[in-house]
Amino acid sequence: MKSSPKRSGMQSVPRRELLAGSAAAAAGLLTAVSVGAAKAQQPDADTNENTTTPEQRRGRIRQSVMGWCFNPMPPMELAKLGQELGLVAIEGISAEYYPQVKQLGLEISLVGSHGFATGPVDSKNHAEVENKLRSSIDTAVKFGAPNVITFTGMRVPGMMDETARRNCVECWKRVIGYAEEKGVTLCLEHLNSRDDSHPMKGHPGYFGDDLDLCMELIHQMDSENFKLLFDIYHVQIMHGDIIRRLRALHPWVAHYHTAGNPGRLEIDEHQEINYPAVMHAILETGYQGYVAQEFIPTWGDPRKSLNHAISTCDV
């Protein structure tokens, strides 16, 4: 016969206290894990592996940086930092800063236009989209930028995909002749629609979330001045198989963006994309354009985040 807890010398513990103790232990464990993860995401300032100085770099990848990611850092502060770290261009900042950027010796790698929400998928937006694209093309010519970004826009409730595709192409067709005349390329960006954790980490409802759909639209445009903005982060989320895809699509790729996945954070060892391998594959295609760093820095010092990313992509 089994002895009771009292006879065996064990103290009886009320069930409520047991549950409270278990909950406290679990909370402590979660806190320890969270703290550990946070520390892993923010390396010590002196432990940035694989970083190089601008003088040590190969420079075979023409690197740029996207301005919005580094807010609240002022645009010209970011531009000066980029120059110090060996970048050759910047994008995603207001055109009012372009003259100062050019004086620094940096290029403008990509000019903004109508934004990802108000796109040609909805015919009600066509006049606005066309006007903004033409204005952005003029800005690109003025400052020697090769590319202007464009987007499909968000899905319209109840609209058939065939109608949405036709609307996009009809709008872009009214602008592409002007882009060809001015020698500027319109870059259609594919975005992920899966991540709803942050307004710039993903775009639920975006029409152009399928790479094959974007390529169909590009082929319908049938112009050397209408190509793909291959965002490595977004492609990884929606499709994966990055290297095979960029090899297959490279004749139509005019621009690249980077970021670590998941989270659109630093391109370090805590994310899943092998950026050196991707950069080697890009070089093997003969690509001569820009690769822009578009991650959201979370390390304590954004300078170290950017320097690490530049070094990682310098293959």
CATH architecture of 58-313: Alpha-Beta Barrel (3.20)
* pLDDT reported for residue 35: 34
Give a three-class secondary structure readout of the chain: CCCCCCCCCCCCCCHHHHHHHHHHHHHHHHHHHHHHHHHHHCCCCCCCCCCCCHHHCCCCCEEEEEHHHHCCCCHHHHHHHHHHHCCCEEECCCHHHHHHHHHHCCEECCECCCCCCCCCCCHHHHHHHHHHHHHHHHHHHHHCCCEEEECCCECCCCCCHHHHHHHHHHHHHHHHHHHHHHCCEEEEECCCCCCCCCCCCCCCCECCCCHHHHHHHHHHHCCCCEEEEEEHHHHHHHCCCHHHHHHHHHHHEEEEEECECCCCECCCCCCCCCHHHHHHHHHHCCCCCEEEECCCCCCCCHHHHHHHHHHHHCC
* pLDDT reported for residue 56: 83
Locate 143 and state its tokens. Answer: 């400052």
Decide if 268 contacts 298 (C-beta within 8 A): no
* pLDDT reported for residue 37: 41
Domain ranges of the chain: 58-313
* pLDDT reported for residue 154: 98
Decide if 85 contacts 54 (C-beta within 8 A): yes
* pLDDT, one tens digit for every residue, the chain (315 residues): 434 333 333 344 444 443 344 444 344 433 333 333 443 444 544 445 568 888 788 899 999 999 999 999 999 999 999 999 999 999 999 999 999 999 999 999 999 999 999 999 999 999 999 999 999 999 999 999 999 999 999 999 999 999 999 999 999 999 999 999 999 999 999 999 999 999 999 999 999 999 999 999 999 999 999 999 999 999 999 999 999 999 999 999 999 999 999 999 999 999 999 999 999 999 999 999 999 999 999 999 999 999 999 999 999
Distance CA 210, CA 32 (A): 39
Distance CA 77, CA 168 (A): 37
* pLDDT reported for residue 11: 40
* pLDDT reported for residue 50: 66
